[in-house]
Amino acid sequence: MDQTFESYVDQHFDEFVEQLREYCKHPCMTGQGIGVRETAEATSDVLRGLGADTHILETSGAPVVFGEIGSGDRTLLFYNHYDVQPPEPLDLWESEPFAAEVRDGKVYARGVADNRGDVMARVQAVQSYLATKGDLPVKIKFIIEGEEEIGSPSLQAFVKAHRDLLACDGCIWEGAGRDHEDRSVLCLGLKGVVHLELRLREAKVDLHSSFATIVPNAAWRMVWALSTLKSPDDKITVDGLIERVFVPTEQQLDLLRAIPFDEKELRTDLEIESFIQNLTGLPLLRKHLYEPTCTIQGLFSGYSGIGLKAVSPCEAIAKIEFRLVPNLEPDEVIRLLREHLDRRGFEDIEIITHAALGNAQASPDEKISVAAVQASEEIDHKRPIVYPWMAASGPMSFFSVDLGVPVVGAGSLWWYDARAHAPNESIRLMDYRKGISLIATIIDRFAAA
Amino acid sequence: MDQTFESYVDQHFDEFVEQLREYCKHPCMTGQGIGVRETAEATSDVLRGLGADTHILETSGAPVVFGEIGSGDRTLLFYNHYDVQPPEPLDLWESEPFAAEVRDGKVYARGVADNRGDVMARVQAVQSYLATKGDLPVKIKFIIEGEEEIGSPSLQAFVKAHRDLLACDGCIWEGAGRDHEDRSVLCLGLKGVVHLELRLREAKVDLHSSFATIVPNAAWRMVWALSTLKSPDDKITVDGLIERVFVPTEQQLDLLRAIPFDEKELRTDLEIESFIQNLTGLPLLRKHLYEPTCTIQGLFSGYSGIGLKAVSPCEAIAKIEFRLVPNLEPDEVIRLLREHLDRRGFEDIEIITHAALGNAQASPDEKISVAAVQASEEIDHKRPIVYPWMAASGPMSFFSVDLGVPVVGAGSLWWYDARAHAPNESIRLMDYRKGISLIATIIDRFAAA
Neighbours of B15 (CB within 10 A): 10
CB B224 to CB A217 under 8 A? no
A261 touches chain B (CB under 8 A): no
A306 touches chain B (CB under 8 A): no
**DSSP-derived secondary structure letter, B398:** I
B412 touches chain A (CB under 8 A): no
* Alpha-carbon B212 to chain mean position: 45
Helix (H) or strand (E) holding B200: strand B192-201
* Alpha-carbon A80 to chain mean position: 11
A197 touches chain B (CB under 8 A): yes
pLDDT at A110: 96
**DSSP-derived secondary structure letter, A28:** -
Q: How many CB pairs under 8 A join A and B?
A: 222
Give pTM, 2 decimals. Answer: 0.88
pLDDT at B310: 84
CA distance A204 to A313: 10
* Nearest residue on chain A to B352, alpha-carbon basis: A307
CB A204 to CB B291 under 8 A? no
CB A298 to CB B297 under 8 A? no
Query: Nearest CA of chain B to the CA of A138: how many Å?
Result: 35
Fold of A192-245+291-357: Alpha-Beta Plaits (3.30.70)
Mutate to test the interface with B, among A208, A308, A328 (most CBs of B within 10 A): A308
Chain B neighbors of A321, CB-CB under 8 A: 209, 308, 310
Contact B282, B290 (CB under 8 A): no
The pLDDT tens digits along chain B (449 residues) read 689 999 999 999 999 999 999 999 999 999 999 999 999 999 999 999 999 999 999 999 999 999 999 998 999 999 999 999 999 889 999 999 999 999 999 999 999 999 999 999 999 999 999 999 999 999 999 999 999 988 899 999 999 999 999 999 999 998 789 988 889 999 999 999 999 999 999 988 888 888 999 999 999 999 999 999 999 999 999 999 999 999 999 999 999 999 998 899 889 988 889 999 999 999 999 999 999 999 999 999 999 888 888 889 999 999 999 999 999 999 999 999 999 999 999 999 999 999 899 999 999 999 999 999 999 999 999 999 999 999 988 888 999 989 999 999 998 999 989 998 889 999 999 999 999 999 999 999 999 98
pLDDT at B2: 84
Helix (H) or strand (E) holding A317: strand A315-324
For domain A3-190+359-448, say whether CATH 3.40.630.10 is its number.
yes
Looking at the domain covering B193-245+291-357, what would its CATH class be? alpha beta
Chain B neighbors of A357, CB-CB under 8 A: none
CB A214 to CB B323 under 8 A? no
pLDDT at A98: 98
pLDDT at B1: 66
pLDDT at B29: 95
SS3 of B212, please? helix
* Residue at A271: amino acid letter: E
User: Which of B205, B230, B303 is the closest to A297 by Cβ?
Assistant: B303
CA distance A446 to A371: 5
Chain B neighbors of A298, CB-CB under 8 A: 219, 301-304, 309, 311, 313
CA atoms within 13 A on the CB side of B80: 29
Contact B234, B274 (CB under 8 A): no
pLDDT at A176: 81
Domains of chain A, residue spans? 3-190+359-448, 192-245+291-357
Query: Nearest CA of chain A to the CA of B406: how many Å?
Result: 22
List the alpha helices (DSSP H) in B51-162: 117-132, 155-161
Mind listing the pLDDT tens digit for each residue in A151-161? 899 999 999 99
B114 touches chain A (CB under 8 A): no
B216 touches chain A (CB under 8 A): yes
Q: Could you report how far apart the first and last alpha carbons of chain B are, in Å? A: 17
CA distance B393 to A325: 51
User: Which of B203, B287, B393 is the closest to A272 by Cβ?
Assistant: B203
Mind listing the pLDDT tens digit for each residue in A216-256? 999 999 999 999 999 999 999 999 999 999 999 999 999 99
CA distance B440 to B133: 10
pLDDT along chain A (449 residues), means of 10: 92 98 97 96 98 97 98 95 92 96 97 96 98 96 95 93 97 88 92 96 87 95 98 97 96 94 89 93 96 97 88 95 96 98 98 92 95 95 93 89 94 91 94 97 96
Write out the DSSP string of A319-372: EEEEEE-TT--HHHHHHHHHHHHHHTT-TT-EEEEEEEE--EE--TTSHHHHHH
Q: Which residues contact B408 (CB under 8 A, 6 or more apart)?
A: B170, B171, B172, B173, B175, B186, B187, B188, B362, B366, B368, B369, B372
